[in-house]
Structure 1
Amino acid sequence: MATRTRSFGIDIGGSGMKAAPVDVSDGSLAADRLRIDTPQPATPKAMAKVVRKLVAHHDWDGPVGVCMPSVVTNGVVRSAANIDPSWLDVDADALFTQAVGHPVSVVNDADAAGVAEMRWGSGRGRSGVVICLTFGTGIGSGLFVDGVLVPNTELGHLELDGPDIEKRAAASARDREGLSWEEWGDRVDRYLTHVVMLFSPELIILGGGASKKPERWVHRLDPGCEVAIAEMANNAGIAGAALLAPEPGALRSARE
Structure 2
Amino acid sequence: MRIGIDLGGTKIEGIALSDQGQELWRERVATPQGDYQGILQAIAGLVQRAEANLTLTGSVGVGIPGVLSPQTGKVKNANTQCLNGQALDQDLSQLLNREVRLANDANCFAVSEAVDGAGQGKSLVFGIILGTGCGAGIAVNERPLVGANGLSGEWGHNPLPWMTPQEYPGSPCFCGRRGCIETFVSGTGFSRQYSQLTSHNLPGDQIIHRMRQGEPAASQVFELYCDQLSRALAHVVNLLDPEIIVLGGGMSNIDELYPELNRRLAADVLGRECVTQVVANRHGDSSGVRGAAWLWGR
Partner of 1:218: 258
| TM norm structure 1 | 0.78
Partner of 2:211: none
Read off the aligned partner of 1:37 and give its amino acid letter: A
- Hey, what's the Cα distance between the residues in 2 that align with 1:148 and 1:102? 20
Q: What secondary structure sits across from 1:223 in the alignment?
A: helix
Partner of 2:15: 20
Partner of 1:52: 44
Task: Name structure 1 gaps, 5 residues minimum.
Answer: 1-5, 248-256
Asked whether the equivalents of residues 104 and 246 of structure 1 are also in contact (C-alpha less than 8 Å), the reply is no
Read off the aligned partner of 1:192 and give its amino acid letter: L
Asked whether the equivalents of residues 78 and 84 of structure 2 are also in contact (C-alpha less than 8 Å), the reply is no
Q: What secondary structure sits across from 2:4 in the alignment?
A: strand
Q: What secondary structure sits across from 1:14 in the alignment?
A: coil
Read off the aligned partner of 1:113 and give its amino acid letter: F
Partner of 2:217: none
- Hey, what's the Cα distance between the residues in 1 that align with 2:259 and 2:297? 40
- Hey, what's the Cα distance between the residues in 2 that align with 1:22 and 1:210? 27
Give matches, 1:187-202, under 5 Å: 187-202=228-243
Say whether 1:169 aligns with 2:224: no
Asked whether the equivalents of residues 107 and 139 of structure 2 are also in contact (C-alpha less than 8 Å), the reply is no
Asked whether the equivalents of residues 75 and 88 of structure 2 are also in contact (C-alpha less than 8 Å), the reply is no
Mark the CA change 1:199 to 1:245 in structure 2 (over 3 Å): closer, same or farther: closer
CA RMSD in angstroms comes to 2.8
Task: Name structure 2 gaps, 5 residues minimum.
Answer: 161-169, 171-177, 196-201, 209-221, 267-275
- Hey, what's the Cα distance between the residues in 2 that align with 1:147 and 1:58? 25
Q: For 1:112, which of 102, 105, 108 is the aligned residue?
A: 108
- Hey, what's the Cα distance between the residues in 2 that align with 1:123 and 1:170? 22
Q: Return the structure number with greater helix share.
A: 2
Say whether 1:82 aligns with 2:79: yes
CA shift, 1:146, in A, is: 5.5
Give matches, 1:61-210, under 5 Å: 61-73=57-69, 76-84=73-81, 86-127=82-123, 129-145=124-140, 149-151=144-146, 152-153=151-152, 154-160=154-160, 161=170, 162-175=178-191, 178=202, 180-181=207-208, 182=222, 184-210=225-251
Partner of 1:250: none
Count of residues in Structure 1 that have an aligned counterpart in Structure 2: 236
Q: What secondary structure sits across from 2:91 in the alignment?
A: helix
Say whether 1:8 aligns with 2:3: yes
Mark the CA change 1:11 to 1:146 in structure 2 (over 3 Å): closer, same or farther: closer
Asked whether the equivalents of residues 185 and 229 of structure 2 are also in contact (C-alpha less than 8 Å), the reply is yes
Asked whether the equivalents of residues 65 and 246 of structure 1 are also in contact (C-alpha less than 8 Å), the reply is no
| Cα shift readout 1:119-157 (whole Å, capped 9, x = no counterpart) | 111222224x43111222322222245555422412222
CA shift, 1:18, in A, is: 0.8
**184-193 or 118-127, which moves further after superposition?**
184-193
Asked whether the equivalents of residues 103 and 246 of structure 1 are also in contact (C-alpha less than 8 Å), the reply is no
- Hey, what's the Cα distance between the residues in 1 that align with 2:238 and 2:288? 27
**65-74 or 194-203, which moves further after superposition?**
194-203
- Hey, what's the Cα distance between the residues in 1 that align with 2:185 and 2:156? 9
| Cα shift readout 1:148-195 (whole Å, capped 9, x = no counterpart) | 542241222222243432233223434565353425444433322333
Asked whether the equivalents of residues 62 and 103 of structure 1 are also in contact (C-alpha less than 8 Å), the reply is no
Q: What secondary structure sits across from 2:38 in the alignment?
A: helix
CA shift, 1:21, in A, is: 0.6
Structure whose CA Rg is larger: 2
Mark the CA change 1:56 to 1:217 in structure 2 (over 3 Å): closer, same or farther: same
CA shift, 1:73, in A, is: 4.3
